[in-house]
Structure 1
Amino acid sequence: MRYAALIAALIAATPAAAATGPFLSLGNTDFIVLLGFLLFIAVLIYFGVPGMLMGMLDKRADQIRSELDEAKSLREEAQALLASYERKQKEVQAQADRIVETARKEASDSAAQAKLDLEASIQRRLAAAEDQIASAEASAVKEVKDRAVAVAIAAAREVIAGQVKAADANKMIDDSIDTVEQKLH
């Protein structure tokens, strides 16, 4: 019955009826709006809408809080990963610097060794060339001597042939044969 009175009040609260009258009458629009608002609030409270709204807000706040915690943990993980990569990058850079320094040192050592090897090779080649020159010189001297001996023998033969008689030549041949026989036995 009470609800029927409220419904009748709401039906009677038309804009034409609410235009005039004292405040606590159904003819006043402000009073009708106030009653409608209070009735709306009462219906919301009766059905537990504020509790549902608070539960939904709490649930949303918990969800936001969990998302913030997850974002914070992801941020910390990302910072740790970044620090790890930076540390690895520094280690790799240091290793690369060591490799470059080692390569430079080895290249320098190799260049010095190559220079020493080249100098030794040049010295060997110079010595070989000097030996070849000395050998060629000795060969040329021997050849000149042999040639001089051959020329001297030929000249002596001609001189001797012109001066030696046949009997003297036969005697010389016999003497030479006897000398060779004595030296061979």
Structure 2
Amino acid sequence: MADILTLLASGAEGHAEPAVLGLDSYQWVALAMTVLIAVFVWKKVPGIITGGLDAKIAEIRTQLDEAKTLRAEAEALRAEYSAKIASAEKDAEAMLAGAREEAEAILAKAEADSEVMVARRQRMAEDKIAAAERAAVAEVKAKAVTAAAAASKVLIAKAHDKKADKKLADEVISSL
């Protein structure tokens, strides 16, 4: 203890490091590092780390290949749908043109049918007018015949007597 007191009294600047089994602390650190490195080498830790990294690289490559494949498929689908859209647009234009042609044909047929119907109705009206004219003429003729017959009856009754009737009857009989 006297040594310690003399050290303290002398104001020595150094302090005493603990030592275990005769090794100082820096020697223990060096020994632990050596053991750690030996364990890494013995357990093939660098190979494991490298293998893990290689596996990760292979997985990333696989994902990149899948991404390239998916991109190619997506581009193919895009091209296919672009073609389908273009085809659908052409079909729509063709359908629209067909509908226009059909509408024009229907309109032309309707115009022709209306002209035929107007002509037919005109003929019907003309036929009705002609029939009415014929009926009116027939009626006028019938009235004229009736009036003429009545007038003839009166005239015959005044002008004919029994002699004239006998002479007329003889002429009719001889003509038969």
TM range (shorter): 0.7 to 0.9
Q: Decide which moves more: 35-44 or 76-85.
A: 35-44
CA distance in 2, matches of 1:178, 1:135: 43
1:95-134 matches, within 5 Å, as 95-134=91-130
* Deviation by residue 1:92-118 (Cα, 9 ceiling, x = unmatched): 111011101210121022112211210
Q: Does residue 27 of structure 1 match 2:27? A: no
The one of 79, 85, 92 equivalent to 1:89 is 85
Equivalent residue letter for 1:75: R
Equivalent residue letter for 1:147: K
CA distance in 2, matches of 1:176, 1:144: 30
Question: In structure 2, the residue corresponding to 1:26 is in which secondary structure?
Answer: coil
Structure 1: gaps (5+ residues): 1-18
Q: How many positions carry a matched residue from both structures?
A: 159
The one of 47, 53, 57 equivalent to 1:51 is 47
- RMSD over aligned Cα atoms: 2.1
CA distance in 2, matches of 1:59, 1:46: 22
Q: Does residue 153 of structure 1 match 2:152? A: no
Question: In structure 1, the residue corresponding to 2:24 is in which secondary structure?
Answer: coil
CA distance in 2, matches of 1:78, 1:21: 71
Alpha-carbon offset, residue 122 of structure 1? 0.3
CA distance in 1, matches of 2:50, 2:60: 15
Alpha-carbon offset, residue 21 of structure 1? 6.9
> Percent of counterpart pairs with the same letter?
39
Structure 2: gaps (5+ residues): 1-15
CA distance in 2, matches of 1:174, 1:36: 178
Runs of 4+ with deviation above 6 angstroms: none
TM-score by length of 2: 0.81
Alpha-carbon offset, residue 124 of structure 1? 1.7
CA distance in 2, matches of 1:113, 1:68: 66
Equivalent residue letter for 2:67: A
CA distance in 1, matches of 2:24, 2:174: 183
TM-score by length of 1: 0.77
Question: In structure 1, the residue corresponding to 2:17 is in which secondary structure?
Answer: coil
Alpha-carbon offset, residue 33 of structure 1? 2.9
